[in-house]
């Protein structure tokens, strides 16, 4: 990788690419929540529209991107953990049985923490420190906003991600039950991880 990586705030025109990366990071969650929800729209289409919504905590405004050769090669989306929940809009839009399946997932949080909702790097560029740099920038953002720690959710069987987070100072604080489903092909549920910040 000879060309430098540029880190910057996400722009609205990045939303489609962000949604594609988030689908990878979600490990089936987006497909589970959004499949066949709107005729003619894929889960990535729906997530793109959510990212374009300035008033949502899933807005592109809460994302940092890694740009390589003019293209978005990685992203980190983060916001206050208090906002990680099933919202009224979600209840109106997503079938109840899907939300019930993930109720424990959306209820688990570390109070007063900043939440790293999605971290993804283009597969071809993994192993170059991009993920670590994005985590560092998310930590910096959390500190600047006065949070005591940064937290995230990871599938228990995602061993590569767990090793990355451990190197960055994250520790498991809670088991989170998520039953396996054909669209969520993971065993063992999730772990809620937390990392105290230097200023706390």
Distances, alpha carbon 191 to alpha carbons 21, 105, 162, 185, in Å: 21, 10, 9, 16
Q: Residue 175 pLDDT > 70, yes or no?
A: yes
pLDDT at 30: 95
pTM over 0.85? The answer is: yes
Q: What is the pLDDT of residues 87-132, one digit of tens each?
A: 998 999 999 999 999 999 999 999 999 999 999 999 888 989 999 9
Question: How far, in Å, CA of 139 to CA of 172, rounded?
Answer: 17
Mean pLDDT of all residues in 9-37 = 96
pLDDT at 55: 85
DSSP state of 145: T
Across all residues in the chain, what is the average pLDDT? 95
| Residue 72 contacts residue 21 (beta carbons within 8 Å) | yes
Domains of the chain and CATH, by start: 5-148 (3.40.630.30)
Q: Where are the alpha helices (H) located in 35-128, listed in sequence order?
A: 43-52, 88-93, 96-101, 103-107
| Residue 170 contacts residue 161 (beta carbons within 8 Å) | no
Question: How far, in Å, CA of 90 to CA of 27, rounded?
Answer: 19
């Amino acid at each position: 990788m000879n060309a430098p990586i540029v880190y910057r705030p996400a722009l609205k025109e990045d939303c489609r690419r962000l949604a594609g990366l988030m689908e990878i990071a979600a490990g089936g969650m987006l497909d589970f929540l959004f499949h066949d929800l709107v005729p003619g729209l894929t889960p990535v289409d729906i997530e793109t529209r959510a990212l374009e919504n300035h008033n949502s905590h899933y807005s592109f405004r809460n994302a940092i991107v890694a740009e390589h050769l003019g293209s978005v090669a990685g992203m980190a989306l983060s916001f206050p953990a208090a906002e990680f929940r099933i919202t009224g809009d979600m209840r109106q839009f997503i079938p109840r049985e899907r939300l019930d399946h993930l109720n424990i997932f959306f209820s688990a949080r570390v109070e007063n923490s900043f939440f790293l909702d999605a971290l993804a790097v283009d597969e071809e560029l993994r192993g170059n420190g991009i993920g670590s740099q994005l985590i560092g920038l998310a930590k910096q953002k959390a500190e600047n906003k006065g949070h005591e720690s940064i937290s995230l959710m990871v599938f228990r069987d995602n061993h590569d991600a767990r090793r990355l987070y451990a190197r960055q100072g994250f520790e498991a604080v809670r088991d989170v039950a998520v039953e396996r489903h054909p669209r969520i092909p993971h065993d063992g549920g999730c772990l809620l991880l937390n990392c105290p910040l230097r200023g706390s």
